[in-house]
Amino acid sequence: MDKGICIVVKNEPIADQVYRMVLEGELVQHLTQPGQFLHVKCGDGIDPLLRRPISICDVDIEQQLLTLIYRAEGKGTKLLAEKVAGEKVDILGPLGHGFPITERKVGEKALLVGGGVGVPPLYYLAQELVKRGVEVSTVIGFGEANQVFLDSEFSELGATRVTTIDGSFGEKGLVTDVLDQGFAADFDVLYSCGPLPMLKALQQRYTQNEREAYISIEQRMGCGVGACLACVCKPNPELSSKSYYKICTDGPVFNIGEVIL
């Protein structure tokens, strides 16, 4: 873990209430594992006191650039949306355990399933998998057309399907509807991040499956470093002898079925 000041290069809206922030800083050289997160100080003073966890969406180690995509919905993220080029952002990270990718082999097939603000970490993951020669298929879901982002970026990396609940973009329905149609059904490994109902649906489907599958949980956090217990969740007693997991340090990525959702 590192703590550093990054400089805002760009911070612009890319969808309804969703912003893409590009930052520059030495911290970037440590951001090598997709699925890890950064704890971002959103304001300049002590209000809000708590940092906000945001996933690493894209990294350019050579240029020392880092991209975050976030939804400006509450106090902290709305302050973040006000930052302009040249301003400083105080960042702690990388934190947590990311998506396991070192065992992936050339020619394997990965299925990525994301929803809403769970989509950004999957983009960095997709790029790293493609670099390793893994075939990536992605399905991402949003509420409606004006909330959709990263669809064309994923399309450049592999087969991509987009769903919206109201059908205003891509296919009408949920990401699981696309899976029901048999999309990328022959995957070797599944990676997912998104809203709890989506993760629950995937967990019901794939826990008994023989294939590797991982979910990343975006839950409320306080300290982000294992000290405050704000982020605890219950492990599946069949798979773990621990009485609780801290999502910030034991996760946010877990084997599917490892946590009771």
Ligand X SMILES: Cc1cc2nc3c(=O)[nH]c(=O)nc-3n(C[C@H](O)[C@H](O)[C@H](O)COP(=O)(O)OP(=O)(O)OC[C@H]3O[C@@H](n4cnc5c(N)ncnc54)[C@H](O)[C@@H]3O)c2cc1C
53-90 core/surface letters (b: 16 or more CB in 10 A; e: else): bbbbbbbeeeebbbbbbbbbeeebbebbbebeeeeebe
Cα dihedral 185, 190, 194, 200, rounded to 10, equals 80
Helix (H) or strand (E) holding 151: helix 151-155
Burial environment of residue 226 by CB neighbours within 10 A (0 to 12, 13 to 18, 19 or more): middle
Indicate the residue among 52 and 109 with the shorter CB distance to ligand FES: 52
75 is an interface residue for ligand X by CB under 6 A: yes
In angstroms, the CA 107 to CA 249 distance is: 32
Cis bond leading into 235, ω under 30°?
no
Neighbours of 10 (CB within 10 A): 14
Sole window of 1-9, 45-53, 160-168, 177-185 interacting with ligand X (rule: CB under 6 A): 45-53
Indicate the residue among 143 and 226 with the shorter CB distance to ligand FES: 226
Exactly one of 190, 193, 248, 253 binds ligand FES (CB under 6 A); which one?
Answer: 248
Binding characters for ligand X, 77-116, by CB under 6 A (x = yes): x---------------------------------------
As measured in angstroms, the least distance from the Cβ of 172 to ligand FES is 37
73 is an interface residue for ligand X by CB under 6 A: yes
In angstroms, the CA 210 to CA 225 distance is: 32
Sole window of 7-15, 69-77, 131-139, 197-205 interacting with ligand X (rule: CB under 6 A): 69-77
235 is an interface residue for ligand FES by CB under 6 A: no
Q: How many residues bind ligand FES (CB under 6 A)?
A: 12
120 is an interface residue for ligand X by CB under 6 A: yes
48 is an interface residue for ligand FES by CB under 6 A: no
95 is an interface residue for ligand FES by CB under 6 A: no
Indicate the residue among 189 and 223 with the shorter CB distance to ligand FES: 223
Q: Within 13 Å and on the Cβ side, how many CA atoms surround 64? A: 10
Tell me how many degrees the CA angle 198-161-163 measures, rounded to the nearest 5.
50
As measured in angstroms, the least distance from the Cβ of 255 to ligand X is 16
CA distances from 64 to 59, 143, 256 (A): 8, 33, 33
Binding characters for ligand X, 187-226, by CB under 6 A (x = yes): -------------------------------xxxx-----
Question: Contact positions toward ligand FES, by CB under 6 A?
Answer: 221-224, 226-231, 246, 248
Q: Which residues bind ligand X (CB under 6 A)?
A: 37, 50, 52-55, 69-71, 73-77, 117, 120, 218-221, 252
